[in-house]
Amino acid sequence: MPNSTRSRHCTERAIAFPTTDESEFPLRWSGRLSLTPRILFVNIFALALLAGGFFYLDSYRLRLLDSRMEQASREARLVAQALMATRLSDEEALVTRLARQTGTRIRTFAADGVERSDSRALGVRNFLLRDPDKDRWQTEAARLLDAGIDTVVGAARAPLYRERPRNRGFDWPDVRAAYQHHTAPSTLWRAPDRTPVITAAAPLGARGTLLTTVNARDITSVVRVERFRLGVVLGIVSLVSVLLSLFLARTIVRPLRLLARAAVRVRLGRAREVVVPRLPSRRDEIGMLARALSDMSLALRARIDATEAFAADLAHELKNPLASLRSAVEGLGNVRDPELQRRLLAIVRDDVLRLDRLISDISEASRLDAQLSRAKFEPVDLGAMLEAMVAGWHARGIERGVELRFDRTPDVALTVQGEGVRLERVFENLIENAISFSPDRGIVTVAATINDNAVIVCVEDQGPGVPAEASEAVFRRFHSVRPEGEGFGRHSGLGLAIARTIVEGHLGTIHVESREDQASGARFVVRLPGPPAP
């Protein structure tokens, strides 16, 4: 087969190597609480910020009260000016008319503090304080809610409004301040039903003092409506948030608990009994974790099975040379013939060498996985390595006249990331295997090329080939089918198994196939990832 055709065929028959997964970084959390209360706490804490709206409503209520108190002072001054502009005999008529127009209770006091006129006594019933004992339960509940919110927000509590005797007008602080300082002060009081009462006074000159009183229930009504609306919104949002938090916690915590229980059972040595849920319907990080743990448990189960099989195969492989060695040693004690003794000693030496070779290969095979996981890969010129290896075989001389050829794509860098010593062992095993199966004066060809950023190396021989049903068995440990005429025990059956372990440790693939150029023989194809793109 021409060299170029062989290289192209090697490229076409190679299989793709697997890609690596992205690195995952562990997340650390020092808390000891379950995820469910954490999620609830975070969401409820966010709602607590919304509850701060009650503080805003309290400041809004205070602004309304301040505005109403200023309005009461202005009205008191205006009413006082109107009364001072009329005759004293017409005072009661004007008080009655102004009380109806302003909606306030108007009282006048003489210079000695004795009440002179009262709009309420004159028939204007626009100032009535409600008896809390006669209110409906809804009103009582509203008052209790007001008291609770005022306590939470730290609202100042106004003094309770109480009537003073008619002949003691100066008991009203507004009347006393207006008479003494000639100002128009106002005072905020609290009615028995917790609604605000505002009093304001204004001087009437020599005629005494004016006092207006109003029950500002509308402010309480407005604030209660806004508090009710905010409370309804807060309640609905809290309910929805709690339900969503529980739903979120269920979708996260429940699968994590299932995975944790499965992991504990695997840790307790029950990997064969555990079926880690894969959660195929989950396409989020929880599903990724479930599938990763499931794959890990399957890989662990496969590793356990491989370890058990390896131990059984190892015991079997060691028994054969040990049995032969024991038989030869026992025979030496009973045989007196020098020639027979010499033959038995040769068997002992061969068995000792076979045990030494077997133990060395087993030691290397058992350490390969750990060593490759810690190896630091560097750029390796695979073309130069193979060329040097072929030259070394030629320098040492190849038995039975076998010819070794090297074919590579010219002027193409065959660079891979790996450990040079391990990769050299792979191709040394493949070349040695190909030479051992080649007939006398046969041809062994090593072809190297690059395709799709992957370096592909094929090792071909002209031996009997590998049946399709045995294409995987040849890579098993201790599987050894040697050519006729080769001395027994020269190979441990671990060469191809070691080669596959090294190749897969370099994220590559290796497989064997029969040649399709009308010639007998086997072709081993190794595919290794090329260097990363700059």
Closest to 172 (Cα-Cα) out of 157, 183, 161:
161
Quote the CA–CA distance of 504 and 299 in Å, as a whole number: 15
| Burial zone of 477 (CB within 10 Å; 0-12 exposed, 13-18 middle, 19+ buried) | buried
Alpha-carbon span 73 to 112, nearest angstrom: 22
Which pLDDT value is given to residue 174? Answer: 93
Q: Which residue has the higher pLDDT, 133 or 153?
A: 153
Q: Nearest to residue 143, comparing CAs of 68, 63, 224? A: 224
Query: End-to-end alpha-carbon separation of the chain, Å?
Result: 36
Residue 12: pLDDT over 50 = no
Residues pairing with 199 in the sheet: 187, 213
**Percent of the chain, pLDDT > 90?**
15
pLDDT tier at 363 (50, 70, 90 boundaries)? low
pLDDT score at 254? 79
Q: Give the tokens for residue 361.
A: 């290969």
For 218-250, how does the pLDDT look when each residue is reduced to its tens digit (9 = 90+)? 888 888 787 778 778 878 888 888 887 788 777
What are residue 456's phi and psi, to 5 degrees?
-120, 125
Cα gap 298→290, rounded to integer Å: 12
Q: What is the pLDDT of residues 398-425, one digit of tens each?
A: 888 888 888 877 777 788 888 888 888 8
Neighbours of 461 (CB within 10 A): 26
pLDDT score recorded for residue 209: 94
CA angle 517, 521, 526 (to 5 degrees): 90
Place of tokens 């006074």: 201
Question: What distance in Å separates the CA atoms of residue 305 and residue 471, rounded to the nearest whole number?
Answer: 21
Tokens of 339: 């020639």
Q: Could you read off the pLDDT of 23-39 as tens digits, one per residue?
A: 444 444 434 556 677 77
Query: Residue 520: how many CB atoms within 10 A of its CB?
Result: 14
State the residue for tokens 């004690």.
333
Six-digit token pair at 148?
Answer: 């609770």
- Considering the entire predicted model, what is its pTM? 0.45
CA 287 to chain centre: 11
Place of tokens 């590559």: 508
**Between residues 183 and 266, which one has the greater pLDDT?**
183
Q: Residues 90, 93, 99, CA angle at the centre, nearest 5°?
A: 130
Average pLDDT value over all residues in the chain: 78
Closest Cα partner for 523 from 453, 444, 449? 444
Long-range contacts of 394-399 (CB under 8 A, 24+ apart): 398/435, 399/435
Beta-strand runs (E) in 409-531: 415-418, 443-451, 454-460, 509-514, 522-529
Both tokens assigned to 409 = 């794509």
Q: How many Cβ atoms sit within 10 Å of the Cβ of residue 196? A: 22
- pLDDT of 288 > 70? The answer is yes
**What number of residues does the chain have?**
534
83-97, 192-206, 261-275: least confident range: 261-275
- The confidence band for 334, taking pLDDT boundaries of 50, 70 and 90, is confident
Classify residue 415 as left (phi > 0), alpha (psi -120 to 50) or beta.
beta
CA–CA separation, 69 and 472 (whole Å): 97
